[in-house]
C-alpha cells in the first residue's frame, strides 16, 4: 500500500512544505483495535507489517508505503485494515498539485522485489477538500478492497495523525462494511419489476441480462446510461 504527493504551485499560489502521512490501522472482526502502522509506529511487533519511514517534504515528489503480509495479520486475529492519509501540514488535498494512493501485490513474500511506483496497478487520485482521507478499507479475510473515498474532520486540539481520530475511523469502518450495496442482479430485478415481467425463455424476452449475452456486466456505459438514471 502506498501514497504519493508533490509540492508546488496551484493557481499561482505556492503550497509551501507538504507532509502527507500514510497509516494502516488494523481491527478484528468486531472492529476492536488491534494495532496500527504509521510514521509513529514503523513496525508491528505482532505481525509482519512495516512502514517505509516519514517523508516530511516533497519538492520533487515523494512516496510513503507500507508492506503488509496478509496471512500473518489474519492468523493473529486481524480482519479489517483502514488506510488513512493525514495532511500533517494541514493543506487540503484539493490544494495540492498531485496526491494519490494505491496498492501493489508482491508475487512472493520476502522476494526482495523493489518498490516501484510505476508498477502500482490500483491507483486513485486524492482530491477531496479535507485534511484526512480514508480511500479504502480492506477485508483481509474475504480478500476484498472496499473503495470508500471518505473524509474525516480533524480534531483542532490534536496533531493531524492517526492517533488523533480513532473513533471516527471505527464509525466509518463499521458503516462501510455493514452497508449492503445493490449488485447488478438487484438492479436488473428492480427494472424488470418496474418495466415489465420476467419470462422463461430467450424467445419471449425483449431484453436479456446475463454474463454471456444481451446486457452483460461488462457493458458499463450502457448500464450507467440506461439503468442508473
Q: What is the pLDDT of residues 176-226, one digit of tens each?
A: 998 877 889 999 999 899 988 999 888 899 889 999 889 998 888 888 888
- Please spell the DSSP secondary structure of 2-18, one letter per residue: EEEEE--EETTEE--S-
Helix/strand/coil for 83: strand
Are residue 50 and residue 80 in the same domain, yes or no? yes
Residue range 81-97: mean pLDDT, rounded: 93
Q: Which of 109, 143, 28 is nearest to 76 (CA)?
A: 28
Residues 189 and 92 in one domain: no
2-6 vs 20-27, strand pairing mode: unpaired
The grid cell for 225 is: 446510461
Residue 21 belongs to a domain with what CATH number?
2.60.60.30
Q: Are residues 192 and 172 in the same domain?
A: no
- Containing structural domain, residue 168: 2-178
Domain endpoint, select from 158, 178, 198: 178
Q: Count structural domains, the chain.
A: 2
- 226 DSSP assignment: H
Distance of CA 103 to the CA centre of its chain: 9
Chain-centre distance for alpha carbon 137: 5
Task: Answer yes or no: do 160 and 196 share one domain.
Answer: no
Banded model confidence at residue 83, pLDDT cuts 50, 70, 90: very high
Read off the pLDDT of residues 23-64 as tens digits, 9 standing for 90 and up: 999 999 999 999 899 999 999 888 889 999 999 998 999 999
Does residue 155 share a domain with residue 193?
A: no
Residues 44 and 90 in one domain: yes
pLDDT band at 94 (very low <50, low <70, confident <90, very high): very high
User: Is the same domain home to 164 and 222?
Assistant: no
Amino acid at each position: 500500500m502506498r501514497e504519493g504527493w508533490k509540492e508546488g504551485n496551484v493557481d499561482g499560489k505556492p503550497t509551501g512544505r507538504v507532509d502527507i502521512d500514510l497509516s494502516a490501522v488494523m481491527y478484528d472482526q468486531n472492529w476492536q483495535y488491534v494495532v496500527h502502522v504509521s510514521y509513529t509506529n514503523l513496525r508491528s511487533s505482532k505481525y509482519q507489517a512495516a512502514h517505509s519511514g516519514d517523508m516530511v517534504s516533497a519538492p520533487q515528489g515523494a512516496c510513503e508505503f507500507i508492506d503488509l503480509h496478509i496471512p500473518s495479520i489474519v492468523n493473529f486475529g486481524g480482519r479489517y485494515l483502514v488506510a488513512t492519509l493525514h495532511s500533517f501540514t494541514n493543506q487540503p488535498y484539493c490544494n495540492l498539485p498531485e496526491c494519490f494512493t494505491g496498492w501493489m501485490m508482491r508475487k512472493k513474500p520476502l522476494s526482495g522485489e523493489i518498490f516501484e511506483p510505476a508498477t502500482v496497478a490500483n491507483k486513485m487520485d486524492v482530491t477531496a477538500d479535507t485534511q484526512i482521507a480514508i480511500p479504502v478499507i480492506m477485508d483481509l479475510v474475504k480478500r476484498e478492497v472496499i473503495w470508500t473515498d471518505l473524509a474525516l474532520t480533524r480534531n483542532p486540539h490534536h496533531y493531524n495523525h492517526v492517533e488523533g481520530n480513532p473513533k471516527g475511523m471505527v464509525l466509518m469502518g463499521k458503516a462501510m462494511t455493514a452497508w449492503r450495496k445493490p449488485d447488478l442482479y438487484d438492479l436488473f430485478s428492480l427494472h424488470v419489476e418496474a418495466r415489465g415481467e420476467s419470462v422463461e425463455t430467450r424467445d419471449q424476452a425483449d431484453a436479456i441480462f446475463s454474463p454471456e449475452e444481451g446486457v452483460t456486466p461488462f457493458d458499463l456505459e450502457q448500464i450507467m446510461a440506461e439503468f442508473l438514471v
